[in-house]
Amino acid sequence: MSPPSSSSSQQTTLRIGIIGFGPFAQFLAKTLMKQGHFISATSRSDYSDLCTNLGILFFRDIGAFLESDNDIIMISTSILSLSRVVESIPFHCLKRPTLFIDVLSVKEHPKDVLLRILPEECDLLCTHPMFGPESGKDGWTDLTFMYDMVRIRDQHLCSSFLQIFSTEGCKMLEMTCEEHDRLAARSQFLTHTIGRILVEMEVESTPIDTKGFQKLVQVKESSAKDSFDLFSGLFIHNRFARQQMKNLEVAIEKLQERSKELQDPIISKL
């Protein structure tokens, strides 16, 4: 029954335990399993039946989960619940130094929390697979996998994990958590913000859609599938997000001011 632990063979079979088994973790787990890794999971909700069907060992008790001896523990909670979950982990149950990996959509926050709370002997890899069940449904080729080797001493174990994503064809992008959050505020967070605004405005297709508007409807529909918790997490726990929100408000004010200036008919062209 017991699968081999990490070894120095070309394709190492890893024992990966997942904390937080929501839709994103389930999506990742399918590919991890396809590649032959041994997966276990624990979560606040009971995913016993789902895990049984997938061939994943599910633990209701996080202590028993930690004692089951994983090479890697992947943290896939919501951004908002991360601190509380990590603070509740009974690290004394770990049998040996373990590589902790998070897959959250903000990076400085989990890095800070985990560096503060993880046992010193545990390694830490912060990652952001920049895709999900929708964008990654036809495979992961050319989709971006960002990572920051925050505290890595077991290079081989870390490489074995990264290899999972490079094998699938991901664009592997090493950058600091800070640089990620700075860029993500300007791109991913802004997209979620616009999408949420369009959800709030109840934007719908019309009989006179332009091509540009059709793209906005797609952005809105994609946001509507994500939880509001995700948006809030991106907003609250990326320190660059607040400035983006301000920039957005300032841009709207400027637009209206410039338009009002033009309303005074000084400028008139044929």
Show contacts with its own copies in window 156-175 (CB under 8 A).
173, 175
Of 5, 159, 167, 187, which one interacts with its own copies (CB under 8 A)? 187
- Is residue 212 close enough to count as binding its own copies by CB under 8 A? yes
- Window 10 to 39, contacts with its own copies (CB under 8 A): 19-20
Burial (CB count <10 Å: 0-12, 13-18, 19+), residue 16? buried
The smaller minimum CB distance to its own copies, of residues 31 and 144, is found at: 144
Position among 68, 93, 232, 240 found at the interface with its own copies (CB under 8 A): 232
* Closer Cβ to its own copies, 5 or 141, answer by number: 141
- Asked if 1 interacts with its own copies (CB under 8 A), we say no
Per CB under 8 A, contacts with its own copies among 35-74 are 43-45
- How many residues contact its own copies, by CB under 8 A? 79
In whole angstroms, what is the distance from residue 126 CA to residue 178 CA?
11
Name the amino acid, one letter, at 204.
E
User: CA 219: distance to chain centroid?
Assistant: 18
- The yes or no reply on residue 115 touching its own copies (CB under 8 A) is no
- Near its own copies by CB under 8 A, which window of 28-36, 48-56, 161-169, 224-232? 224-232
Contact status: 91 vs its own copies (CB under 8 A): no
